[in-house]
Structure 1
Amino acid sequence: MESFTKLITIDRASPVPLYFQFAQQLQQLIETGVLPPGTRLSNEIALADQFGLSRPTMRQAMQHLVDKGLLARKRGVGTQVVTNRIRRQIEFSSLYDDLKRDNRNPHTKVLSVLTQSAGAATAAALRVEEGTDVLSIERLRYADDQPIALMRNHLPVGLVELSAESLAEAGLYQLLRHSGVQLHTAEQTIGARQATTAEAKLLDETRGATLLTMTRTAYDDTGTPIEYGTHVYRASRYSFEMTVAAR
């Protein structure tokens, strides 16, 4: 444990939430092999004491990495770095564009378009203070009249004018491009989890059905984050496909 404690620093003057600072740095140590698969970590109480964080903050940081598939909690063993986790890059495109290209007749039900205070994860992704107003959008995407994805997106206020009517007729990225926003790169994480009762109802799935998840932060050509999305997809009807090359 002591081998990596000095590699993580917490900046209490930073606008980035403390839990996210810790989680990001621990993620980097895992991905670079400093903490190899199978590494056992101290319990959350001990970690919180070592880094001068509250227990709820440390619990949130660890849960963030569990949700991303980097850590696993095992009864009688504790928290470990996940063994044989596979990371894959996929094409930077929108679901709307993908469905349209495949002639799957996409259409959208807009559930909400509103301005609200940014939570910790949204604020960190968009590099704004927690509590800053952001534009939040929730949509249900259909393919051939079947619900396929529930999408939640957050954008800086004032970046682009969006309405329920425009979002029902086109994809978000299409609207951003038409407004002059230059989409350039994105960071995304793909995983899976069980559907909540509300999600299952919207997606016409059984309660607890497996959903694919994708969390994405998109950047413009200056490297500024312009969109943070958290999407869930019906695993029974959707899959991610990619081409990989030998190295």
Structure 2
Amino acid sequence: MKLSIDHSSPVPLHIQAEELLRKMIEDPEFRNGKFLPNEVELSQQLEISRTTLRQALNKLVYEGLLVRKKGIGTKVSEKTVSSKSMNWKSFSQEMAARGIPIRNFELHISWVKPNEDVAHFFEIKTDQKVLKLERLRGRPEGPFVYFVSFFHPNIGLTGDEDFKRPLYEILETEYNVIATLSKEEISARAADGFIAGKLEIDTGSPVLFRKRFVYDQADKPIEFNLGYYKSDSFIYTVESRR
């Protein structure tokens, strides 16, 4: 793979280095656990300082795309998906932006009476039915996340929508509902028999559990989402700025 940086470009060198590293990660030569050239060799080849190169490397280590082993080198993460909590998108949009191919293994739609948690969030009664969307998703080789979403009845969803499309795109283009705010609770738990069966893991295996509360531009609740992720296939990163 030919490596070069345009030193005459107005784009900062560390940004160019970051984009180049992203391309290297997807190259079969380096994909899935293979080591990158060492920092000295790579910085010389790109004609940039090791400090500039390390700035780019640190960004990708933070995102979970690279793993740095002290005294050994930096290698590409092995089949790990990373999600960031800042500037959030729908799952489909986020994975597409990262160039990760996603397969839908299951998709189920039903109308159900909400439990107390869902009804409380939507500020409705428990006898008022809501649309429930269940999706088992992952890479082509196997599932790594099981989602359960409930939608406020005021949105107007019918259940006939094409939920293979990005969810928030459907809400915005067909119902003029724009998902603006997401509040999340993240924890670890042991998979029960149902979740273990969905994710093809052993009962009792650790899973990352994420509860997401989604609001529109007027801060009205629109979606109550539960996500169960295989712990060895997913990294959830949080970025804070002060």
Interval containing the TM-score (normalised by the shorter chain): 0.5 to 0.7
Which of structures 1 and 2 has the bigger CA Rg? 2
What CA distance in whole angstroms lies between the structure 1 residues aligned with 2:158 and 2:191? Answer: 28
Give the letter aligned to residue 182 of structure 1: I
Aligned residues: 158
What CA distance in whole angstroms lies between the structure 2 residues aligned with 1:144 and 1:160? Answer: 32
**Cα–Cα, structure 1 residues 202 and 126, in superposed 2: closer, same or farther, change >3 Å?**
same
Normalising by structure 1, report the TM-score.
0.59
SS of aligned partner of 2:235: coil
**Structure 2: 5+ residue runs without aligned partners?**
1-83
Normalising by structure 2, report the TM-score.
0.60
Partner residue in 2 for 1:241: 237
What CA distance in whole angstroms lies between the structure 2 residues aligned with 1:178 and 1:211? Answer: 34
How big is each residue's C-alpha offset from its partner over 1:68-113, in whole Å with a ceiling of 9 and x where there is no partner?
A: xxxxxxxxxxxxxxxxxxxx96443222222111111112234421
Q: Shift of residue 158 of structure 1?
A: 5.2
Stretch of structure 1 that moved more, 88-97 or 197-206:
88-97
Q: Shift of residue 175 of structure 1?
A: 1.5
Partner residue in 1 for 2:171: 176
Q: Shift of residue 206 of structure 1?
A: 1.6
Please state if 1:192 is matched with 2:188: yes
How big is each residue's C-alpha offset from its partner over 1:137-190, in whole Å with a ceiling of 9 and x where there is no partner?
A: 1110122332011000001235243547711x2232222122221111121111
**Following superposition of structure 1 onto structure 2, how do residues 157-236 of structure 1 map, counting pairs within 5 Å?**
157=153, 159-161=155-157, 163=159, 166-167=162-163, 169-179=164-174, 180-236=176-232
SS of aligned partner of 2:236: coil
Moved over 3 A (4+): 88-91, 160-165
What CA distance in whole angstroms lies between the structure 2 residues aligned with 1:89 and 1:161? Answer: 26
Partner residue in 2 for 1:102: 98
What CA distance in whole angstroms lies between the structure 1 residues aligned with 2:161 and 2:139? Answer: 18
